[in-house]
Structure 1
């Protein structure tokens, strides 16, 4: 069964809602997809496989949303893809909101414009995000660690 227009519309709406900055390089997307496929192959547990599959789906659909058809999404199968897609939407929506709240709490100059989905449990990622948005990294990381204790994030 091919990707339905309803699935495509849902993914378009999802990426619109996240509002991530468009990446204008096919090589940027290729590197993300390659990295996620590598991590997917290493996944052993059921939940790791779901999480890594959701990352692959996200990377491929984001590339398509940004105008790069580097890979096709697999034909949708409710039994194989419902959980990874649901996981993807929950995971990346939660991360995006986490960063918006963290930016507000940290006093980012334009907190309402912060749109990020990188893994906030990695301190290096928090540091990168702080620098991108003109926030003191030490403050951003300190508040981020506190917020992580109460924020519902999927791994």
Structure 2
């Protein structure tokens, strides 16, 4: 058995996932489309975003298709490079909050951006897997909506979930 196979057979302490996408905008433009509540409200938080994704800021997100206001705690924000947030978890998480990290990496001499979204803190149970897979779908949709919005001005989320 090779080392890669041994690694893939290891038991997990928690579930996590990573999704990625390329955006044909600079890291600065892409970062701002995520950090700026006005822009985020145009393609992702259809009920509105309040507060910039800056460390220590009071931030809430609302979704017209998933009613309720969701508090978001910004753990870290490095301009044009990284945003780390935490949100209240369900009983299927390994902690009281799940942690999501957005990374913005320059590609093609900085004319494009690779966005990497990683979420962690899910239990290795059926409920943990269901919640993790559901959020994985949500962050994948967010990346597609981000690309459509910043590159073409199209709101993909409108009517997608209801």
TM-score by length of 1: 0.35
TM-score by length of 2: 0.34
Structure with the bigger RCO (C-alpha within 8 Å, sep 6+) is 2
Structure holding more strand per residue: 2
